[in-house]
Amino acid sequence: MGIENFKISDELNRVLNEAKSVYVPRTRDELVELAFGDPSNDKFDVVYSVKGKGMVKEADVVRCKNGAVINYPEDYMRRRDPDAMLVADENDTDKPRYDDVYNEDFNPLRNETFNWLKEQDIIVMPFMAGGKEYGYEALLVAPRNAAFFAAALADLQGFVGEREVPVGFEPKAVVYLAPPFRHTHFGGKQVVIHNRLKDMHEVFSYNLYPGPSAKKGIYGVLLNIGEKEGWVTVHASTVKVITPYDNEIVIMHEGASGAGKSEMIESVHKEMDGRIVLGQNTVTGEKFYMELSETCELRPVTDDMALCHPKMQEGSKKLVVKDAEQGWFLRLDHITEYGTSPEHEKIFVHPSEPLIFLNIDGVPKSTCLVWEHIKDSDGKPCPNPRAILPRRLVPGIVEDLVEVDVRSFGVRTPPCTRETPTYGIMGLFHILPPALAWLWRLVAPRGHNNPSITATKGMTSEGVGSYWPFATGKMVEQANLLLNQIRNSPSTRYVLIPNQHIGAYKVSFMPQWIAREYIARRGSAKFKPEHLKEARCSLFGYGLESLKVDGQYIRKAFLQPETQSEIGTEGYDAGAQILIDFFKQELEKFNTPELDPLGKKIIECFYNDSPLEEYINLIPMRY
């Protein structure tokens, strides 16, 4: 089938008809092979002619036994720039507009991009943004020497092979890739421009790191469609947890990048002797261990993007989700040695088909090892090593729609002591009234030491839903959609889980692994009032008076950090004030006439320092 069977604009038709050549991939294997430039190549440099700079190398692709390993010469290009997005159209948006930032209309650059593409050998790759069942037809238009980028997008979204493309394939979105423009027009920066036309969402990617375009750019497309149609693609992993007693529960974990979404669908990390390090005191160095004789079985559902289309929820009182991706963009910074994550290592070392790796040390014809991360220019391992894992390779993957029993929200927290108070004062996990859970999704703290993006200083907000960096519309519209989602799912419960630190204890992602085991074992059982204790900081809802997993009690220091001798109530209250001040700052932007009246009342509760009962009166808490 040729491009003449695509139902595309005259403008795009001209680009493809005037290009040096056009290639529509037939199979994934064919596309991965093209990433090396030639079948005889074990290493391929992706280079472009840049005016004033000559030939500039953007990336190299190494052929390893287990796949293609991509690396970038610049440290900056090895992680996503959180400020990469610009909006070029005149539709409603709270995001920076291209013409405001650069004081010029986007159309000349758009035409220049099309003219550059006409001079290239082109890949045109059809795919379904959001999946085949509920997704939307889309295209990638890219230079042929960037085939690795096309292969990455193919694995993330599930491309439609040339022979599978139906006649009249009409894309609702097109991603245009033009890497050298970051040098000629944007001072070397990652820039991704969204142009929302009447019947087409254009994404212009002016860099070769897939994060802000192939990954989050498509997320932006789905958010834009959802904003127009009244639904949300949430930023979440989802897992069906099966206890040793065959009880099942579905947990969906949301949060900013680095908040533990991928980790929620991982097994509990254990020491070589089988013990679990619950936490290590950062002051004394003392470690606290526990044992789980038998952990729950995990059936992954989503890793990062959960489609919440209203057609899926008809008749259910719980949120119903399905994966919006066909492959997962997994960060592997926590895998630093053999045996850290055996289930992932087995897949990545001996995959049934070649995979796409980024920021991993790759040697031609060898097996690339995911714990050997490429070194940045300062000699330290890159904090953002990645692999794209197709869903079809994930053992026990759930393909069906699932009802969410518990929605958790993750926050990266720094260490906290009396001398150096911080917001790292959350207990192992907290139970939230739905109204308070909505506030956390509005503020969405990016948190401590985020490894996925170029810079994080102090406490910042990822923005509404924790997906705001990828959205193109209005914050208040997304806030209203999230509130409606919570209101329409009265039987779904909400918890808050920290990672990295609980007060003075370094805990990594152990809180969510322990919480997952505990919540799953409880199943649909309600928390009894005597088990709950109002947190000293009202933003945390309720904590637990005690917690026992597999016959072992968790120390109160992990449940109520104010009991830690290193913190005390003085350090805790100082940390709580940091968090409260941050919430006051971030919630102010939602106090607009467009906000749902119920949302206004919830925000008023916060500013009035209302007790938890008032939040529960606004949206009942069903526990």
- Tell me, what CATH number does 126's domain have? 3.40.449.10
pLDDT, position 623: 66
> Does residue 471 fall inside a structural domain?
yes
Q: Are residues 174 and 238 in the same domain?
A: no
How does pLDDT run across 198-223, given as a tens digit for each residue?
A: 999 999 999 999 999 999 999 999 99
How does pLDDT run across 349-368, given as a tens digit for each residue?
A: 999 999 999 999 999 999 99
Quote the radius of gyration of the chain (alpha carbons, Å).
Answer: 24
Q: Are residues 197 and 271 in the same domain?
A: no
Classify 258 as helix, strand or coil.
coil
Q: Are residues 586 and 449 in the same domain?
A: yes
Q: Which domain holds residue 241?
A: 233-326+398-618
CATH at residue 493: 3.90.228.20
Q: Are residues 152 and 284 in the same domain?
A: no
Q: Can you tell me which residue has the tokens 């419960």?
A: 493
Instruction: Say if residue 410 is exposed, middle or buried (CB neighbours under 10 Å; 0-12, 13-18, 19+).
Output: buried
Strand runs labelled E in 326-398: 327-331, 355-358, 386-390
> What does the DSSP assignment read for 560-593?
-GGGSTTTHHHHHHHHHHHHHHHHHHHHGGG-ST
> Does residue 274 fall inside a structural domain?
yes
Q: Are residues 134 and 237 in the same domain?
A: no
> Does residue 368 fall inside a structural domain?
no
Please say if the pLDDT value at position 181 is more than 80. yes
d(CA 332, CA 265): 14
Which phi and psi angles does 176 have, rounded to 5°?
-105, 125
Choosing from 199, 229, 259, the residue where a domain stops is 229
Choosing from 209, 229, 249, the residue where a domain stops is 229
Distance (Å) of CA 16 to CA 378, 462, 563, 575: 43, 38, 66, 57
> Does residue 114 fall inside a structural domain?
yes
pLDDT, position 524: 63
Please say if the pLDDT value at position 548 is more than 60. yes
> Does residue 593 fall inside a structural domain?
yes
Q: Are residues 64 and 139 in the same domain?
A: yes
pLDDT, position 450: 58
| Total structural domains within the chain | 2
pLDDT, position 449: 65
Q: Are residues 267 and 293 in the same domain?
A: yes
Please say if the pLDDT value at position 452 is more than 60. no
The pLDDT mean for the chain works out to: 93
Q: Are residues 222 and 237 in the same domain?
A: no
> Does residue 392 fall inside a structural domain?
no
**Of 29-33, 268-272, 587-591, where does mean pLDDT reach its minimum?**
268-272
pLDDT, position 456: 46
> Does residue 332 fall inside a structural domain?
no
Q: Are residues 177 and 243 in the same domain?
A: no
d(CA 262, CA 298): 12
Q: Are residues 208 and 243 in the same domain?
A: no
Mean pLDDT, residues 76-81: 94
Mean pLDDT, residues 225-239: 96
Mean pLDDT: which of 151-165, 434-448, 497-511 is highest? 497-511
How does pLDDT run across 370-383, given as a tens digit for each residue?
A: 999 999 999 999 99
pLDDT, position 455: 46
How does pLDDT run across 390-448, given as a tens digit for each residue?
A: 999 999 999 999 999 999 999 999 999 999 999 999 999 999 999 999 999 999 998 77
Which phi and psi angles does 491 have, rounded to 5°?
-95, 5
Mean pLDDT, residues 553-560: 95
Own/partner pairs for 147-150, CB < 8 Å, 24+ apart? 147/31, 147/34, 147/35, 147/37, 147/123, 148/35, 148/46, 148/59, 148/61, 148/68, 148/70, 148/356, 149/177, 149/208, 149/210, 149/214, 150/25, 150/31, 150/34, 150/123, 150/125
pLDDT, position 269: 87
> Does residue 344 fall inside a structural domain?
no
Please say if the pLDDT value at position 150 is more than 50. yes
